[in-house]
A and B are shown apart, each in its own frame.
Chain A
């Protein structure tokens, strides 16, 4: 099946720093999505991207749909303690079933 390679696996940063993470695949996708999972909760959709090259923001979060359609990037600016969690990239296959990356665990030190 399709695999999404997400990196880094984890990040430990200081409050106020910017964060970048990415997701790559050998397959081409028409949609990229980014979810965040807080401890003890289910994932929550942050940003959905539907067009190659698209750059979309949601508050301090900005995501990009790579021009090759094989990758996507998520940036968080001026991180705060509530940004702590696991960030997942996801993309639907030809059956519209979502495949998820393994996640990037973000820890923010106050």
Chain B
């Protein structure tokens, strides 16, 4: 069974640009969550989607957005990139809601110059 797949794995952008990250969950998983990981702040929740609907959103500015498609694949977008957006963006899927038992992808490492 394939795991959670995130693309791209690495990318470099400059300030002011925008970026779109993609996540394919494990087959059959309908819930997808996104987390930002930085050395200073650790793992911080961005948003969660289930059946194409955003269930929860973390404390991030409106420049961070996401969506989920009917096949459960998800994308997140960051507009007007800032240096502080440099981070590892992790996507996770789970089979059952409300258990906390997440399956993470390897992440997309974004560097903003």
Q: Is A97 an interface residue (CB 8 A)?
A: yes
Interface size on A, residues (CB 8 A): 23
> Are B106 and A40 closer than 8 Å at their CB atoms?
yes
Q: Is B97 an interface residue (CB 8 A)?
A: yes
With contacts A33-B100, A42-B106, A92-B100 known, is A1 near B42, CB below 8 A? no
Q: Given the complex, which residues of B lie within 8 Å of A58, measured CB to CB?
A: none
With contacts A97-B45, A99-B45, A100-B43 known, is A45 near B102, CB below 8 A? yes
Q: Is A70 an interface residue (CB 8 A)?
A: no
> Are B106 and A98 closer than 8 Å at their CB atoms?
no
> Are B42 and A96 closer than 8 Å at their CB atoms?
no
A57 to B103, CA, bound (A): 20
Q: Would you give the shortest CB distance from B60 to chain A, in whole angstroms?
A: 12
Q: Given the complex, which residues of A lie within 8 Å of B98, measured CB to CB?
A: 92, 96
Q: Given the complex, which residues of A lie within 8 Å of B99, measured CB to CB?
A: 31, 48
> Are B97 and A48 closer than 8 Å at their CB atoms?
no
Q: Given the complex, which residues of A lie within 8 Å of B103, measured CB to CB?
A: 45
A45 to B48, CA, bound (A): 18
Contact with B102, one of A1, A91, A95, A98 (Cβ below 8 angstroms): A98
With contacts A1-B59, A97-B58 known, is A90 near B100, CB below 8 A? yes
Contact with B92, one of A42, A91, A95 (Cβ below 8 angstroms): A42
Q: Is A51 an interface residue (CB 8 A)?
A: no
> Are B97 and A96 closer than 8 Å at their CB atoms?
yes
- Interface flags for B15-57 (1: CB within 8 Å of A; 0: not) read 0000000000000000001010000001101001000000110
List of 4 A-B pairs having minimum Cβ-Cβ separation, nearest first: A42-B104, A100-B43, A96-B98, A92-B100
A-B contact pairs, 22 of them (CB 8 A): A1-B59, A31-B99, A33-B100, A41-B107, A42-B92, A42-B106, A42-B107, A43-B43, A43-B104, A44-B104, A48-B101, A90-B100, A91-B100, A96-B56, A96-B97, A96-B98, A96-B100, A97-B48, A98-B102, A100-B35, A100-B43, A103-B42
